[in-house]
Structure 1
Amino acid sequence: MGRDDDTTGAQTRREFVTYGTALVAAGAVAGCAGDDGPTDAPDGGSDGTGGGSNGTDGGSGGNDGGTEPDREEDKGTGTQTRTATDSATPYSVTMEPVGEVTFDAVPEAWIAFCGEFADMGVALGQADGMTGIGGADRYYTGVYDELPGVSVDGEPLERHSEVRTKEQFYELENDVHFYDPEMLINWFDWDQADVDEIADNVGPFVGNLIFRRSDEWHDYRYYTLYEAFEKVATVFQERERFEAFSELHDEFVADLQTQLPPAGERPNVFLTFEGTNEPETFSPYRLNDRGTSKKQWRDLGVADALAGTGVENLSTENRGELDYENLLEIDPDVLLIRGHERKSATEFRDTVLAYMEDHPVGSELTAVQTGRVYRGGYLHQGPIHNLFLTERAAKQLYPDTFGEVTGDAELFDRQRVADIVTGAFREE
């Protein structure tokens, strides 16, 4: 990538951040081709989640459909246990692919590539320090409207809505960048020298592409949502907030799981992307991927309707689509369509579902006949997003137990979430 020496030559690296381990070398270039060229894959367009392409999910992952919260118990890896009030001593955070990063003070200005890491920062009470985002159309801030006292200033996100070039990184002068640098290399034509330059002259990278597990270049460790959240909490020295969120999350998921029907009585689910109001073909996702974008479905123990079909997962390498005849062969109990997150549940049903009900082949699908066609959720979800999406998914899958998805039933305590974000929980 080029550099404008007039705008960047005088910049120097912030003194309070140092790298302990070099970045890994760039992997094989595997950019995602979308409507706007290389971006982070196909959940974009009319979802309001990307002009062009927004990440795909897929492949290698581990078991899906378990009944335990989606957490891996290796806490403490490269993290400290101090809180923001105990941050005078240098501390370090270790996260692949970068390795160890040492901080001499808690970062104030920061940026994230997409919704999952941006939402983590907000959850930790750091919203005021967010200077922009790598893809504003993949970051849903509407959920904060339901949390008393929680908000995000939209002006920086509008002004710096797609931060992906070195020049932008120099301009914003952030103390830390929650980006996976290998993603910048493989999707946006950076090279290792570009990554090192920004890390040296502006601020370090701490991030890992966690929403899917299908990219061939991602040959290093993945993290679950709460493992990654813990790393961000350590960056901001907000251990207490992280533990409060972790406790709330575990209680919420455990409570839902105690109410689930036996495994044999749960619906099978086909998750897909199709961003138009009049869908004719569908890009398949596989639920056996352990990326964070599927977390709610795993926690709710659903079966993948594509299991045993030989249909491959949507990924950078696989851009296949299914038509209605293909879907009819699978005939899932529930059809979840990504690409419509700017619509309400009612708006989705009045457009996408209504079109499918009138379609000569689509109308034969069991899910269409029973009205069990729903929005498929955000691709990039952080801990606050995940609470709302899990609540929605519970209603979509088990309406007899948790209420209709168009209803107003609340399955978790909004005020408790807000109190953690605002810090009021410390006064209890």
Structure 2
Amino acid sequence: MTDSDGPTRRKFLTYGGSVAAGGLLAGCTGSSESDATATDAAATDTTATADATATSESTAESTADGSSYTVSMAPMGDVTFEGVPESIFTRLTHHAGMAFALGHGDAVNAMHAPDYYDALWNQFTPRLPGVELDWTGLYSSWEPSKERLYELDSDVHLADPASVSALGSWSQADLDEIEENISPWFGNSFSARHQAPPTEWVDAYEYYGLWEIFAKVAQVLQAEAKYEALAAVHEELLATIAADLPAEEDRPTAVLLGPSDLESIYAYNLSTPGFLTAHTRPLKPVSAFGDDVESGSTVDFETLLEADPDVILTLGGMHPNTSMPDIRTGFQDDPVGAEISAVKNDRIYAQGGRYQGPILNLFQLEMTAKQLSPDRFGAWPQYSEGPYPEIPEEEQLFDRQRVADIINGNL
């Protein structure tokens, strides 16, 4: 079913506050997005969690008897729902991960590279008793087609319309058509690194912390109690880290790399505003690059040696198809790479994903704390393959059973 031949506007959801859009967005491993100015920097994730909790009750007007409720988030504006969405279209995994965290992982019907991210997310789920996740075989939605969206007939498109329009193949009329004939858009993605949205969306755009967006999604799914319970776990974890954080002069210098291969290494500054670094900023890392390397740009071994990080964090290193031993060997076998302090001291560590949802954020906060400051937070096992390592209970920085219970609705 295509274009104007689609079904009439469903009564399930209504939408308001749309704005025009257009522009360009790079792929997941690419980095051609331009960065927004620092004047629009969002609050830290610690503050964001508290603010989101405070606003979750006032923004979503909902009742138990099934009357409509409205959730507001940039760049969409106000979106009014007349029932809890039962089928959820997503593009990027931070939105899919939020649905999963709220017990709606099975409602997700589309996402970017579903088999890849199913495998990555399922490196973490074994540490959550009774929690299962299966995203294999879903529609791969990096650049979705209208025809497929009609076929999916989702109750909500949990995706940023500005980022969809930035693909270049979607017009504002296309976005409006899907919103009118199927269901609204609801998402925010440029908050990842505070990239500038397409020009037509700039006035409507705001940047949020990961847990602020999560609070909004919880309102959409009417799962505020689960959000607040997980936010409490998050706040306790942040407090644990803050209470034992070493002085700046005692912290290692570090870099966050995305080595799709060692010939094309993407580099990210660990303190860049946005939810991509929601697991590193609370640790107040010392960037080995300083201001010399733009976050998201590519670097070579010479640039890395000049920065000489004490620690190298490897995005996607926990994916089953990524060989951490091969990455370490690649650095060690290169005459320049072998001279980097992190390589000489065997401190190249695996990380999870860029577009982390709240559950991955908890795990990545814990693992990064251990990788950067093992003397304070307990040693991180020398990871080579397999699921998230078994950490002795006394060295765990958050309660796995508690998180599993929340996801499964045992509040």
Question: Identity over the aligned pairs, expressed in percent?
Answer: 35
Query: Equivalent residue for 1:113?
Result: 91
After the TM superposition, which segments of 4 or more aligned residues of structure 1 sit over 6 Å from their partners? 54-57, 81-85
Query: Equivalent residue for 2:317?
Result: 340
TM-score, structure 2 length as denominator? 0.86
TM-score, structure 1 length as denominator? 0.83
Deviations 1:247-285 (A, max 9, x none): 111001211221221122111211222112xx1453222
Alignment of 1:56-71 (within 5 A): 60-61=37-38, 69=46, 71=48
For 2:243 and 2:45, how far apart are their aligned partners in 1?
Answer: 11
Query: Equivalent residue for 1:35?
Result: none
8 Å CA contact 1:57–1:289 kept in 2: the answer is no
Structure 1 residue 25 corresponds to structure 2 residue 25: no
8 Å CA contact 2:109–2:138 kept in 1: the answer is no
Aligned length: 389
Query: Equivalent residue for 1:223?
Result: 208
**Cα displacement (A) at 1:103:** 0.9
Give the direction of change, closer, same or farther, for the CA distance of 1:408–1:60 in structure 2 (3 Å limit): farther
Structure 1 residue 162 corresponds to structure 2 residue 145: no
1:211 aligned residue (187, 192, 195): 192
**Cα displacement (A) at 1:85:** 7.4
Give SS of 1:145's match.
helix
1:144 aligned residue (116, 121, 125): 125
2:282 aligned residue (299, 313, 316): 299
Alignment of 1:162-201 (within 5 A): 162=141, 164-201=144-181
**Cα displacement (A) at 1:325:** 1.7
1:411 aligned residue (375, 379, 397): 397
For 2:279 and 2:37, how far apart are their aligned partners in 1?
Answer: 18
Give the direction of change, closer, same or farther, for the CA distance of 1:54–1:81 in structure 2 (3 Å limit): same
Deviations 1:314-366 (A, max 9, x none): 2xxxxx53222222111111122324331499x41x21112211211111111
For 2:7 and 2:232, how far apart are their aligned partners in 1?
Answer: 42
Give the direction of change, closer, same or farther, for the CA distance of 1:263–1:70 in structure 2 (3 Å limit): farther
Give SS of 1:125's match.
coil
**Cα displacement (A) at 1:81:** 7.6
Query: Equivalent residue for 2:341?
Result: 366
Alignment of 1:41-56 (within 5 A): 41-42=28-29, 53=30
Query: Equivalent residue for 2:356?
Result: 381
Query: Equivalent residue for 2:410?
Result: 424
**Cα displacement (A) at 1:55:** 8.8
Give SS of 1:273's match.
strand
Structure 1 residue 256 corresponds to structure 2 residue 237: no
8 Å CA contact 2:16–2:76 kept in 1: the answer is no
Give SS of 1:187's match.
coil
Structure 1 residue 393 corresponds to structure 2 residue 368: yes
Give SS of 1:105's match.
coil
Give the direction of change, closer, same or farther, for the CA distance of 1:55–1:250 in structure 2 (3 Å limit): farther
For 1:57 and 1:391, how far apart are their aligned partners in 2?
Answer: 30
Query: Equivalent residue for 1:354?
Result: 329
**Cα displacement (A) at 1:149:** 2.0
For 2:157 and 2:327, how far apart are their aligned partners in 1?
Answer: 38
For 2:150 and 2:67, how far apart are their aligned partners in 1?
Answer: 27
Aligned CA RMSD, in angstroms, stands at 2.8
Query: Equivalent residue for 1:239?
Result: 224
For 1:305 and 1:57, how far apart are their aligned partners in 2?
Answer: 22
Q: For residue 369 of structure 1, what is the amino acid of its counterpart?
A: K
For 2:89 and 2:197, how far apart are their aligned partners in 1?
Answer: 26
Query: Equivalent residue for 1:326?
Result: 303
For 2:230 and 2:6, how far apart are their aligned partners in 1?
Answer: 41
Q: For residue 19 of structure 1, what is the amino acid of its counterpart?
A: Y
8 Å CA contact 1:287–1:294 kept in 2: the answer is yes
